[in-house]
């Protein structure tokens, strides 16, 4: 059951607050941690040769912010009353973007345990689903905004070519566990980490699957088989902060190095990762910084 709340969440509770909004008659959600503010629709200036999803830009105080028409992204018709549309100003991968939606409804406080991993769906809005949220009387889709931004601006995603500055180093013997719910980012992380020399990788779709793996190894006295954990924050079933806190509380895993790799790491939220005991926190898509942190934590 989802409860409305205005309480700032403590770190590691496996809960999140979601801003619910509508496109047409369908209900969607965005993690509050990504939202900087919500404003009324305002006039925009066209951007020459812009991506089809980008309808323009506008100035908000001292910043110029691009506007993404979320209805167009998800395959919906534009609002019949566009003057009533809202702009959700989000910050993703250190980039601010305004997403145009038709209506903002309310904020829910939800456990990640009540957000299902999307099934293998490839059409419509499901393509951009991070999770399926069970509310009191209907379902909502948690949107993968990072995927939308990466499609519009591939430079906002992980770039393998950046690794050339790292130089040679033997890394292949280290076993890394990676918890990341995005299939695209799992593939990109696999490519980049292997390119950097970290070839011994185990990937899991969410924090719960990773934790089940850790518990199985602990039961078999095999904790020495893992050298480091890389985790996203926003994942169905169990988020990265909760996963990190469980690692720190376990008597066999509490010394395992943990690196949080997420688009949600901002100056004001950095303390959440510290509170649950992360050794390092790296903002996507800073892959070079990520590998440098791995090298530092795994140095012999």
Q: Are residues 124 and 205 in the same domain?
A: no
Mean per-residue pLDDT for 241-247?
95
Residue 228 has pLDDT above 90, yes or no: yes
Residue 253 has pLDDT above 70, yes or no: yes
CATH number at residue 127: 2.40.50.180
Report if residue 1 sits inside a domain.
Answer: no
Q: Are residues 215 and 286 in the same domain?
A: yes
pLDDT band at 251 (very low <50, low <70, confident <90, very high): very high
**Last residue within a domain, chosen from 102, 132, 154:** 154
Return all residues near 76 (Cβ < 8 A) that are at least 6 apart.
Answer: 23, 24, 26, 125
Overall domain count for the chain? 2
Q: Are residues 161 and 148 in the same domain?
A: no
Report if residue 95 sits inside a domain.
Answer: yes
Q: Which domain holds residue 150?
A: 15-154
pLDDT band at 249 (very low <50, low <70, confident <90, very high): very high
Mean per-residue pLDDT for 211-231?
93
pLDDT of residue 154: 73
Write the CA distances from 294 to 84, 104, 145, 272, 297, integer angstroms. Answer: 47, 40, 27, 20, 5
Mean per-residue pLDDT for 211-225?
92
- Strand-strand pairing, 26-31 and 139-143: parallel
The strand pairing partners of 122, in sequence order, are none
Report if residue 243 sits inside a domain.
Answer: yes
Q: Are residues 187 and 257 in the same domain?
A: yes
Q: Are residues 84 and 101 in the same domain?
A: yes
Residue 125 has pLDDT above 50, yes or no: no
**Last residue within a domain, chosen from 154, 184, 218:** 154
Of all residues in the chain, the percent with pLDDT exceeding 70 is: 86
pLDDT of residue 8: 43
CATH number at residue 180: 3.40.50.2300
Tell me the pLDDT tens digit for each residue of 2-30: 443 343 455 667 888 899 999 999 999 99
Q: Are residues 19 and 83 in the same domain?
A: yes
Contact, 213 vs 177, CB < 8 A? yes
Report if residue 187 sits inside a domain.
Answer: yes
């Amino acid at each position: 059951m989802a409860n409305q709340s205005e309480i700032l969440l403590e770190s590691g509770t496996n809960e999140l607050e979601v801003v619910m909004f509508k496109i047409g008659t369908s209900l969607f959600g965005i993690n509050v941690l990504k939202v900087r503010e919500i404003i009324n629709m305002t006039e925009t200036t066209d951007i020459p040769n812009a991506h089809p999803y980008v309808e323009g830009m506008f100035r908000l105080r001292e910043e110029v912010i691009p506007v993404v028409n979320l209805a167009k992204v998800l395959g919906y018709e534009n609002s019949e009353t566009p003057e009533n549309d809202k702009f959700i100003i989000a910050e993703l991968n250190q980039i601010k973007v305004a997403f145009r939606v038709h209506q903002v409804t309310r904020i829910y406080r939800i456990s990640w345990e009540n957000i299902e991993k999307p099934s293998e769906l490839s059409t419509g809005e499901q393509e951009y689903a991070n999770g399926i949220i069970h509310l009191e009387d209907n379902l909502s889709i948690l949107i993968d905004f990072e995927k939308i931004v990466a499609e519009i601006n591939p430079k906002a995603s992980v770039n393998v070519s950046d690794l050339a500055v790292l130089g040679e180093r033997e890394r292949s013997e280290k076993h890394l566990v990676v918890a990341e719910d995005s299939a695209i980012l799992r593939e990109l992380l696999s490519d980049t980490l292997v390119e950097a020399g970290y070839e011994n990788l185990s990937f899991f779709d969410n924090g719960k699957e990773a934790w089940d793996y850790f518990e199985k190894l602990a039961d078999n006295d095999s904790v020495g088989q893992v050298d480091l954990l890389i985790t996203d924050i926003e994942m169905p079933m169990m988020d990265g902060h909760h996963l990190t806190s469980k690692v720190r509380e376990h008597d066999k895993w509490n010394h395992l190095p943990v690196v949080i790799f997420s688009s949600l790491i901002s100056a004001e939220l950095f303390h959440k990762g510290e509170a649950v005991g992360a050794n390092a926190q790296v903002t996507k898509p800073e892959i070079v910084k990520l590998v440098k942190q791995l090298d530092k934590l795994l140095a012999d």
